[in-house]
Amino acid sequence: MGNSSKLALALVGLVLGGSLVACSDGRAGAESAAKQLASAVSALDVGSVAFEGKDSGAANEQLKEIFKGLDPARPAVESGQLTLESDKATVPLNYSWKIGSEEWKYTTFAEFKKSGDKWLTVWNPATLVPELAEGELVSSATHSPSRADILGAGGVPLVTYRPVVNVGIDKPTLGGADPADSATKLARLVGVDPAAYGQQVAASGPEAFVAAITLREEGRTITDAQIGEIPGARAIQDSLPLAPNRTFARALLGTAAEANAEQIEKSNGALKAGDTTGTGGLQQQYDAQLRGSDGIQVLAGKAGLTDAEKQALPNEGRRVLFQTEIQEGTPLKTTLDPKLQQLAEDVLGKVGPASAIVALRPSSGAVLAAASGPGSNGYDTAMLGQYAPGSIFKMVDSLAMFRNGMTPDSKVDCPATLTVDGRTFKNAEGYPGSSLGSVTLRDAFAHSCNTAFINARDTVSQAQLESAATSLGVAVEAPALGAGAFLGSVPGDAEGTEHAASMIGQGKVLLSPLAAAVMAGSVAKGAPVAAQLVLNPNEGVSSPDAEGAAPTGTGTTGASPATPSSGDAAADTATPSAPAPAAAAEKPVTAAEAAALADMMRAVVTSGHAGFLASVPGEPVGAKTGTAEFGNDTPPKTHAWIVAVHGDLAVAVFVEDGGLGATTSGPLLKEFLTRAG
């Protein structure tokens, strides 16, 4: 080919190449601009986007202002299929916002114009939200449901909204009065720290209402007149979800109040400022079920309207773009009997140490009362306490002995003292000499002969003790309970003095007052009692994740402030760790075994050291007392226990530092049973 031919071909190629460039429709550039816009809007930052006829910075500020009312929400935005017409392009933008628990999805259309070799975005608020006009902003309105009630037996409200007054200084009404002087006077009137409250008032803005205290309306002694005498002081009416009184089942139920900053931060978006949430107990465990979920409206409206202008317009000049429906909370149904719960608290009202009374109905397992006394200092001793049970555990020993062929009439040896591997065990002070020597198992049980039961250690293995305990409904899981609880722990392996100590409910054997009531109730029922407190734990949107609470009532939840001991004559300072509970009893107590145990529990009242219960009206009472040493004092401190069955009622009474079960817990039990009717 000649040079002229080559030159001709080169010129043709150049012309063709130039034609290809000139014929490009610019689609790639427009698509790139659309993707950039979608990414920028997703970040709510369009400062890097080039707009036609609008400064990028001004557009960015306007976008932020438009969506400020949805903060901190951000949209996910994706660009769709581009439509090109000469130097104009249109692209759908698909938006998705997370609003509460739902998604708000919509599509808008963005327009682009080519300017030279660049594609510019046409500014239009309707690109951000359909039909959004200049001067309009997007906002949200949240409508929170009232918190659902916690109900007791028969559907009686235990926790429900009750009237209160928020007492504080309303700074705009101070006039010329000294804020510090008013704060001091009000603090002294309502009983809060004047210095701390004065600082709160001083640090708040001029339009603030600074609450000092919230008082129940019912029974309040501080009057509106007294409050009104202090310049700037006000009592603002409100209502809060409250129990019948401040102490009613407080450790068990927990409390509900406005969420604090820490709770909001830990909620992963479930809580916001102003929400009511639960702290402790059932209120925290079932917070989501009780709280329900907000109804949220996303609104569009013109900015800068005065209140008068808003009122003159339909819906205050706002239109609804999207909304989620409000979901009312689901009331939590429990088995608590308000009268028996209050009675139990009244009985414990003057007990100094940590204490508890638990009452349940053996036939159904319903927990009727679970009271922790004032000495528990807010801890749920009744449900979560872990304590050496002492001689009430002889109910377990006796069941194991029955299974080895003994009966209540079988003879056992009850010496005054007994030495095991160098450790001396003895009976409690005042043990009757007439019940020493060869006595029936019934008599040894009625008078609580430690040595007789320790003597059985060679024929009753630790594994048999563990099995007998689970047969009576303790040291097992409690899936029907629906609340955090400790159902007891009985190790399956123990030797020597530890096994001997287990025979009298010490060593590493642990029960809670609830577990003790379950144990007694299983005797009355003639089968293991499955305790139940919450009747509808799975309704609504339950979130059983309370700190220190196991939603299914598993056996090892909670920790006791006490350090149980491992012997009757000397205290062991090691705090035992509770192993995991059994799923259920492999060998449930039988009706015949329970009848034999009931026979011996009745003997505790008719011939043993709980004779004071013989005068309780109604059906005959069967009981068992228990005393367990703990700590390393000389003489050691003791836990005082007593359990009883009275018709279809099983009760456990516990006092942490209480002397003897019969003399300390016994009178409390008698008062409870007598007044319970």
Q: Which 3-state string (H, E, C) describes 497-513? A: HHHHHHCCCCCCCEECH
Which structure tokens are listed for 659?
A: 């002397």
At 218-230, the pLDDT tens digits run: 999 999 999 999 9
At 48-95, the pLDDT tens digits run: 999 998 999 999 999 999 999 999 899 999 999 999 999 999 999 999
pLDDT band at 539 (very low <50, low <70, confident <90, very high): low
Write out the CATH class of domain 365-676: alpha beta
Supply the pLDDT for residue 24.
54
Q: How far apart are CA 316 and CA 308, in angstroms?
A: 9
Supply the pLDDT for residue 129.
98
Threshold 0.95, pTM exceeds: no
Burial of 423 (0-12, 13-18, 19+ CB in 10 A): middle
Supply the pLDDT for residue 316.
73
pLDDT band at 578 (very low <50, low <70, confident <90, very high): low
Mean pLDDT of 203-217: 95
What is the CB neighbour count within 10 angstroms for residue 206? 8
At 14-60, the pLDDT tens digits run: 444 433 333 356 899 999 999 999 999 999 999 999 999 899 999 99
Helix and strand tally (H, E) in the chain? 21, 25
pLDDT beyond 70 at 260: yes
For residue 156, what are the contacts with CB-CB under 8 A and spacing of at least 6?
Answer: 338
pLDDT beyond 70 at 566: no
Supply the pLDDT for residue 308.
77
Q: How far apart are CA 545 and CA 127, in angstroms?
A: 43
Question: Nearest to residue 370, comparing CAs of 389, 343, 333?
Answer: 343
- Domain locations in the chain as residue ranges: 23-134, 365-676
- Structurally, what CATH architecture does the domain formed by 23-134 represent? Roll (3.10)
518 touches 480 (CB < 8 A): no
Strand partners, 629: 638
pLDDT beyond 50 at 337: yes
The percent of residues above 70 in pLDDT, for the chain, comes to 90
pLDDT beyond 60 at 106: yes
pLDDT band at 135 (very low <50, low <70, confident <90, very high): very high
Alpha-carbon separation of residue 550 from 336, 341, 547 (angstroms): 19, 22, 8
